[in-house]
Amino acid sequence: MTNFSTIKKSIVTAVLELFEGENVQDLIVIEDTKKDFEGDLTLVVFSLLKLSKKSPEQTAELIGNRLLEKQPYFEDFNVVKGFLNLKIKQNYWLTFFKSWLSEDDYGFVSKPTGELYMVEYSSPNTNKPLHLGHLRNIFLGDSVVSLLKAVGHQVVKTQIINDRGIHICKSMVAWQKYGNGETPISSNLKGDHLVGKYYVIFDKIYKQEIKELIDGGFSEKEAKVKAPIFLEAQKMLLLWENEDSKVRALWEKMNQWVYSGFEKTYKDLNVEFDHLYYESNTYHLGKEVVQKGVENGVFYSSEDSSIWSTFSDNNLDDKLLVRSDGTSVYMTQDIGTAVQRYKDYPNLSGIIYTVGNEQNHHFNVLFNILEKLNYSWASNCFHLSYGMVELPEGKMKSREGTVVDADELLSSVINEAKSLTSERGFLEELSQEDILDICKKIGNSGLKYFLLKVDPRRKMSFNPKETIDLSGHTGPFIQYTFVRIMSLLKKSEDLDNEFNIEDLKINSKELEVLKFISNFPDILGQSAKELSPYLLANYLYSLVKSYNSFYQDHPIITEDNYDLRNFRVQMSKLVSEIIEKGMNILGIEMPDRM
């Protein structure tokens, strides 16, 4: 069957027939023709000039004439400097389209690759609720999982619950000193919000005590480690690691409050995990691995009994792995977690850590340590680094209470969706339950798409007012087009949808939509390879814009030409399927109406 692969191979064949040399095929670059130029595929000829011994224009002309002479797929070509733009015959486009319609799951890889990946994301601390920064992490990780599955991989969705450490003890100390027995029930607060409240209280008292010590003659550095409430938190951490029963009981109680809160937020986000790891478990294994590293000469112990890894060969500072009092640090836990994961899943092809770029150095050090320990899988660990989300007024800080709470944000975008739908008046005859379901889908779409449409490597500024708009670059705009297509398809249910391509003539806007449809498999593949959902998100927006341009200018159901009408209906149907599948990969559900 003729497809894009066949046509691209014909271009490669023509080049190989014309030019001799080593690795000629590696020099061949074929791209989609840019929108400003006429053509469908473009061959970049600059890399072939050393073989052709001709100018870029002459080289392109030579290859173009050979293709028109020898291959049946092309009707014309044009040359712009070193770019050969080739126009595919229309009947081949229609043949492609027929083949796409016959595929059960167009764009997706049907044959499993046999590779298994683990994607870690979310991984919150149990001292505060989820916030806007977590949402970018969660949406990014969740959509990467779906992308990897779309190209045939198996995936384990996981997170490491950061449920121990000095930051957890800060909330515990503050609650113990100032909580007066307050609980989620007595305060009518979600458990994660209640614990987060005491994390903020700790910071407020801590800063006050630092100021008092500085006023009393201490340096700022000294004040930070001598503040009474900080010393209490340090003492509590030591008691926790020594398994003090009272400290452990308080820890378990407050953590359970947080887990209950997280569970509700994840349910609202439609996110779930396959395997949970807890830092309170994996740090034990981490300490064992570190101790063996000392015995084998991989790490060293200093005079105060703290354990370190040296990185003089990498021009990095030495890294602390275990404190002098025997308590572990984040790195210890991450070593243990990585080792445990490969014990649980020995056939893993790789682990993808979805963590903000503030931790770039941490993961560079972690992967170096795993290599020092001679783990064969160390090179298969990858940090999916992403930029922080900032507000127009600046950076968020959890301990100062200046974050955008995830639950409040979800509620606000759903309320925005309610306002939008009530203004339009299209849902008045529905039940309140159905209206809420639609508004949740619209609100979540606005939020998820806004956070996913930006290259994850870039930091971004978040403005909730820009998330829900039926005419802008938003998730609801894409949903609205989908709903409109579904309405059209419902009206065409009784029509015969067969069409003959022999005498069918399509216009430039229809051809543009077909080109976008043709790119869907490649976009999925590229997005999965680069772990970049933003490529898919922006593709879907471009597809929708192209379809809307066609839709506004040309009739579909009322088209008089039988074959053309049915072609347009089927093209609309395939566009709707791509939108729905693509948005589902981004974690976005489609409403029935808007």
**pLDDT tens sequence across 485-531:** 999 999 998 888 889 998 899 999 999 999 999 999 999 999 999 99
So what's the pLDDT on residue 3? 65
Q: Which of 17-21, 460-464, 470-474 has the lowest mean pLDDT?
A: 460-464
Triad 462, 352, 524: Cα angle to 5°: 70
Q: Find, among 441, 422, 128, 156, the residue nearest to 277 by Cα.
A: 156
Q: Which of 6-10, 475-479, 531-535 has the lowest mean pLDDT?
A: 6-10
| Structure tokens, 526 | 């590229």
Beta carbons within 8 Å of 81's beta carbon, 6+ residues apart: 56, 57
Angstrom distance (rounded) from CA 141 to CA 52: 47
Half-sphere exposure of residue 315, counting CA atoms within 13 Å on the CB side? 0
Angstrom distance (rounded) from CA 227 to CA 590: 53
Average pLDDT, the chain: 93
Stretch 177-189: mean pLDDT: 96
Helices 475-491 and 533-553, axial angle in degrees (round to 10): 50
Torsion, Cα of 319, 320, 322, 326 (10° steps) = 170
Half-sphere exposure of residue 359, counting CA atoms within 13 Å on the CB side? 15
Angstrom distance (rounded) from CA 392 to CA 390: 7
So what's the pLDDT on residue 402? 54
**Which of the four pLDDT bands, split at 50, 70 and 90, describes residue 398?**
very low
Residue-by-residue DSSP string for 506-560: --HHHHHHHHHHHHHHHHHHHHHHHT-HHHHHHHHHHHHHHHHHHHHHS-STT-S
Residue-by-residue DSSP string for 289-353: HHHHHHHTTSSEE-TTS-EEE--GGGT---EEEE-TTS-B-HHHHHHHHHHHHHHH-TTEEEEEE
Residue-by-residue DSSP string for 71-87: -SSEEEEEEETTEEEEE
**pLDDT tens sequence across 258-289:** 999 999 999 999 999 999 999 999 999 999 99
Place of tokens 């043709």: 518
Residue 366 has pLDDT above 50, yes or no: yes
Stretch 67-91: mean pLDDT: 95
271: left (phi over 0), alpha (psi -120 to 50) or beta: beta
**Domains in the chain, ordered, with CATH?**
4-88 (3.30.1360.70), 165-271 (no CATH), 406-585 (1.10.730.10)
Beta carbons within 8 Å of 79's beta carbon, 6+ residues apart: 57, 60, 61, 64, 85
Percent of the chain with pLDDT over 90: 80
Place of tokens 């830092």: 279
Report strand pairing: 300-301 vs 348-356: unpaired
| 250 neighbors 237 (Cβ within 8 angstroms) | no
**Which of the four pLDDT bands, split at 50, 70 and 90, describes residue 1?**
very low
Torsion, Cα of 425, 431, 437, 438 (10° steps) = -20
Angstrom distance (rounded) from CA 284 to CA 470: 52
Angstrom distance (rounded) from CA 108 to CA 488: 26
Residue 5 has pLDDT above 90, yes or no: no
- The strand ranges marked E within 202-314 are 275-278, 300-301, 307-309
β-sheet bridge partners, residue 319: 309
Triad 571, 573, 574: Cα angle to 5°: 65
| Structure tokens, 450 | 């806004």
| 154 neighbors 111 (Cβ within 8 angstroms) | no
Residue 162 has pLDDT above 60, yes or no: yes
| 282 neighbors 158 (Cβ within 8 angstroms) | no
Residue 397 has pLDDT above 60, yes or no: no
Query: 10 Å Cβ neighbour count for 590?
Result: 18
- The values of phi and psi at residue 383, to 5°, are -95, 110
So what's the pLDDT on residue 493? 86
- Measured CA to CA in angstroms, residue 459 lies from 452, 462, 571 at distances of 12, 10, 37
